[in-house]
Amino acid sequence: MSATPAPDATGPGAGVLGQPGRLCLADGSCFAGVFHGATEASCGEVVFTTGMTGYEEVLTDPSYTGQIVCMTAPHIGNTGINAEDVESVSGRPQVAGLVVRELAPAPSSWRSTESLGAWLARHGVALLSGVDTRSLTRHLRDHGAQNGAIGTGPAEELVERARRAPRMEGLDLVARVSPREPYAFDESSGRWLPSVGAPALGRGGRPGERGHVVVIDLGIKRNILRCLCDAGFRVTAVPARSTAVDILAYDPDGVFVSNGPGDPAAVTYAIDTLRALLGKKPLFGICLGHQLLALAAGARTYKLKFGHRGVNQPVKDLATGRVEVTTQNHGFAVDLGSLPAGVRTTHLHLNDGTSEGLELRDARAFSVQYHPEAAAGPHDALYLFERFAALVEAARA
């Protein structure tokens, strides 16, 4: 299976001269295109995201570590790259590769400081343009996300590289993206989202006014940290391997468990930490943090066929009946049939009925599978930061 490559994709948008290349999957399927950026073949799990906007946030989200991302939106790169929209704390792209239908020849946003192609080339990230991304997406939906390789070599060689690459099941990728040392964070989102900011989150207030939160950084996005500051918290982030003793030594008013990449069941050290923290401090987990909280409570997780990735994922709040349009990026899910007593389902995905929210009321803990910070994406779920703040304040009273 292949697509006809674009005739050429040079110039400012490409970053480097394009040459014929292809993406080959572990099942033997190949998709032709124009190769840019990297000097050798790149391997990773091939996934697709349905977001029409936010490619820079996707490329810098640490949850995409180890993955080659296919954008279903056909025209990518028109707003270029700027430092303010980078979501990784490191400031670097996190993906193993990018696949697009059409690469914009030049950015046209006043905020842009660099073209997408040049930025990826500078960081050594493989880019394949001119691909029939609709055909690739349909293939992944039918056959599931799987390993692939982008390069210019023979198809047989790329297929073999894809087959040799480690499978996502059982893979702990958190170690690649978690910080080595604790750090403080005090940046507000008001500069980027003046219409959202603290007032929309409720009482808000100055950082620290509503307590001190320790963030277990499993690969967090910067805008999540900003939202915690907007909610009035003083924020300290700690490495993924921090123990419960390490975290409690900060005497925090609450603990936040971030998003991150890989198989949650493989992050055993974080599961042990959360198990030891349950009931001791108010706890809020998102994405990987949601899955780890479930595992710490005694539930199981499993791999989805092709995952949920995009800014248009519908979720129902079972308590209110309200439907939220959410930003998501995950390939694993919590097994609802394995939830132990004391763990209540609060949100469900409307497309497939999978787990999107949990509550452990006796332990003062809750979690959601999606990204409530809206970077990029809708603002429907920002209220969750205020909910966490209320939980922390009740515990302090």
Stated pTM of the model: 0.92
Of residues 45, 57, 373, 386, which has the active-site annotation?
Answer: 373
pLDDT at 197 over 70: no
The pLDDT of residue 104 is 93
Per-residue confidence (pLDDT) for residue 396, from 0 to 100: 85
Closest CA to 43 of 165, 135, 197: 165
d(CA 8, CA 10): 6
Tally Cβ neighbours within 10 Å of residue 154.
11
Which member of 45, 227, 371, 386 is catalytic? Answer: 371
Alpha-carbon dihedral 186, 202, 86, 8, rounded to 10 degrees: -170
Residue 207 is predicted with a pLDDT of 66
Does 24 participate in catalysis according to the annotation? no
Give residue-wise pLDDT tens across range 324-373.
999 999 999 999 999 999 999 999 999 999 999 999 999 999 999 999 98
The verdict on whether 347 is a catalytic residue reads no
User: Which domains does the chain possess?
Assistant: 19-164 (3.50.30.20), 174-396 (3.40.50.880)
Closest Cα to residue 104, out of 32, 56, 48? 56
Of 56, 287, 356, 359, catalytic = 287
**Segment among 13-22, 77-86, 178-187, 357-366 with least mean pLDDT:** 13-22
Query: 373 an active-site residue?
Result: yes
